[in-house]
A and B are shown apart, each in its own frame.
Chain A
């Protein structure tokens, strides 16, 4: 079985954004080929691998590592794939397999709030997006219908049509938290790509409490569902195809991509249009790798911005014991939030944030703590139950402002295929740190309202990462400042489009997947417009350029 050597549209990366863009183009009659660096995997075997894993809190551990398509791993020790240039570590995780990183995600599918795309105008920080929230609405809706998003109305992100699914049943613990924090804080059920009834040929959630590392029953939408939809629409998918170069002609049009198979035999695929959808780290890496005499700084990089403005959502947190039994671990992992701190005049001073209440079973962490403390004998049993029933944790998702010094570059270190590894240059600025400080005050109030004892704050200045890789392919109208235009098209290459969260010019405070998918669907629409839409998108484009 030989792989195709040409296609109308070649998509690099089979994650949720690339696959849904491919799906949409195929439904518009395009002949589409997806090249995926990693292998195919099977859900049931990942479930079994997790249960056999010696590192249950390491959500990468059940996923296979492929020497030809390495992915960053940090446990039991760092594999050094994502080289850390500092000053602050950026330990991003992603999975290089068919379906991509959303094999494990919390399925949080919040839209942005309208002001998120205008923070420069409103608050004098960051940049404005080249699109308004209202412009994004139809693609948000389409993304929500494709993913099967369940949510409450009126949670700060206006919408013209209802969610396709009613909100997911709220776990008991979250009901108690919501009741105990009212009216000081308004706790709301998260907007999630998780089935509250069977939808899209997938069953309703049955509360496995393992949304990460793997939903065992396919109740939450994963990139692999997007791959299957794409395949059903006629898209061809080639796994284990490690793209290492993008070729162009004298006019700067992209002509082909070259990939290695696991034996390092090189293959070439030509096409008319190209989508780069290999996430916010691998995509800029590939553009930088494809430098040529015409483009010595890499493709799409006349602005010098490829790989720059790397953003994510750092978290600080508070863990404590409530004064009543909550028993986290019943139902989905991430059910509720406080989302009223995502926007406000304070954004001119410090980072906005969403506060996220975990519902992950506390049993594992409590067990490790008790053994570490040397709690033995009958007290172990009693203490395990007491702590597992009462331990709660709340964390921030903090906005990060675009900063060109935070960036992905090519390392001098190479992977097993001889391809330079990506290198992360990262720091967390005062704006974000001030946000974290403001959140500590919320943490204290929350703990007090829940009768909290045994308060354990993240040490000041320490943050965990959320793998919401954004910004490295930022979109904007000015080709001297941005990599991609408002439709995700590379300013420098007429037939190269970027899909994924990398095109987001700011990170806001919401998990980035839904916005990435909405933008990807919008890009696909732009690449192959319906007849009726063609006129209106062209009008928009003219209005902008005039």
Chain B
């Protein structure tokens, strides 16, 4: 967990480096201390700032695909009209109350906060590639959803071939749990 920062370049980030924004600019000292590895995470547009900060806090990843981030933000804000404002409000609450991401959901649920659905929506988007609920659910990502990325050294997402006939009879490539 203490290795050097490994940041991915954005797929569709701004071409002009002078205009590039990074996550550090959207964090307070408290939230920055929670995700020190993500401070240089690119942020495509100012209105994405709170979403990206929450994404970094919730997903706990060293880096997030900036191109996918933009698509998820678009899908979430199209699905939920108050998404941007809610994200700002939740980030502000975390900053003010110094909420540990591990306790975030129980804190919100316990307080019957109207923001309680937000972390799950963001995590469903990143980890399952899904935005929305019930019949309105949209698939935005599959192969590069985080739940595929996190196990990509061992498993292929279903429908993708594992390998040549019989290759699955060998032990998996993974050597122990890898806390990335």
What residues of chain A have their CB less than 8 Å away from a CB belonging to chain B? 47, 50-56, 76-77, 169-172, 175, 196-197, 204-210, 214, 216-217, 325, 327, 329-331, 360-361, 363-364, 366-368, 370-382, 384-386, 388-389
Contact = CB atoms under 8 A, between A and B. Distances in A.
Contacts of A77: 134-135
Contacts of B177: 382, 385-386, 389
Nearest to B61: A381
B142 A169 contact: no
Interface in B91-135: 100-102, 104-106, 109, 119-120, 123-124, 127-128, 130, 132, 134-135
20 contacts: A52-B139, A53-B139, A76-B134, A76-B137, A77-B134, A169-B165, A206-B165, A207-B165, A207-B167, A208-B158, A216-B159, A325-B174, A327-B154, A330-B162, A367-B147, A377-B102, A378-B179, A381-B180, A385-B151, A389-B154
A54 B125 CA distance: 11
Contacts of B58: 376-377, 380
Contacts of B150: 381, 384-385
A207 B163 contact: yes
A377 to B, nearest CB: 4
Which of B57, B163, B166, B176 has the most chain A CB within a 10 Å cutoff? B166
Given A196-B165, A207-B168, A363-B148, 7 more contacts: A172-B168, A172-B169, A207-B162, A329-B155, A330-B168, A330-B172, A381-B180
Contacts of B59: 376, 380-381
B178 interface: yes
B159 A51 contact: yes
A378 B60 contact: yes
Given A364-B147, A374-B119, A378-B1, A207 B161 contact: yes
B88 interface: no
Interface in B12-61: 34, 57-61
A377 B60 contact: yes
A214 B57 CA distance: 36
A52 B142 contact: yes
A386 to B, nearest CB: 5
A76 B133 CA distance: 9
B104 A327 contact: no
Contacts of A370: 127
Contacts, number: 169
Interface string B57-95: 111110000000000000000000000000000000000
Contact of B147 (A172, A363, A373): A363
Given A206-B163, A385-B178, A374 B106 contact: yes
Closest 10 CB pairs of A and B: A374-B105, A331-B168, A207-B162, A169-B166, A54-B137, A206-B161, A377-B101, A378-B60, A330-B168, A204-B165
A210 B142 CA distance: 14
A85 B161 CA distance: 42
B178 A209 contact: no
Nearest to B127: A367
Contacts of B160: 208
B171 interface: yes
Contacts of A374: 104-106, 109, 119-120
Contacts of B137: 54-55, 76
A361 B160 CA distance: 12
Contact of B155 (A196, A210, A330): A330
Which of A171, A327, A377, A379 has the most chain B CB within a 10 Å cutoff? A377
Contacts of A217: 161
A445 B106 CA distance: 35
Grouping DSSP codes into helix (H, G, I), strand (E, B) and loop, the A interface class, with mixed when no group exceeds half, is loop
Given A172-B169, A196-B165, A376-B119, A50 B159 contact: yes
A377 B109 CA distance: 17
Given A197-B165, A206-B164, A206-B165, A329 B158 contact: yes
A327 B156 contact: no
Which of B119, B171, B180 has the most chain A CB within a 10 Å cutoff? B171
B68 to A, nearest CB: 15
A384 B164 CA distance: 26
Contact of B158 (A55, A210, A327, A388): A210
A380 B124 CA distance: 12
A373 B127 CA distance: 14
Given A54-B137, A76-B134, A381-B61, A367 B128 contact: yes
Given A54-B139, A169-B169, A363-B148, A376 B105 contact: yes
A370 B162 CA distance: 25
A363 B151 contact: yes
Nearest to B160: A208
A382 B170 CA distance: 24
Contacts of A372: 120
A384 B162 contact: no
B162 A388 contact: no
Contacts of A207: 161-163, 165, 167-168
Given A377-B60, A384-B147, A371 B123 contact: yes
A389 B175 CA distance: 11
B93 to A, nearest CB: 14
Nearest to A390: B177
Contacts of A208: 156, 158-162
A334 to B, nearest CB: 13
B101 to A, nearest CB: 4
Nearest to B161: A206
B170 A172 contact: yes
Contacts of A368: 128
Contact of A327 (B1, B105, B172): B172
Contacts of A360: 158
Given A172-B168, A207-B162, A376 B123 contact: yes
Which of A50, A197, A330 has the most chain B CB within a 10 Å cutoff? A330
B124 A371 contact: yes
Given A56-B158, A367-B147, A376-B119, A205 B172 contact: no
A389 B174 contact: yes
A382 B179 contact: yes
A375 B120 CA distance: 10
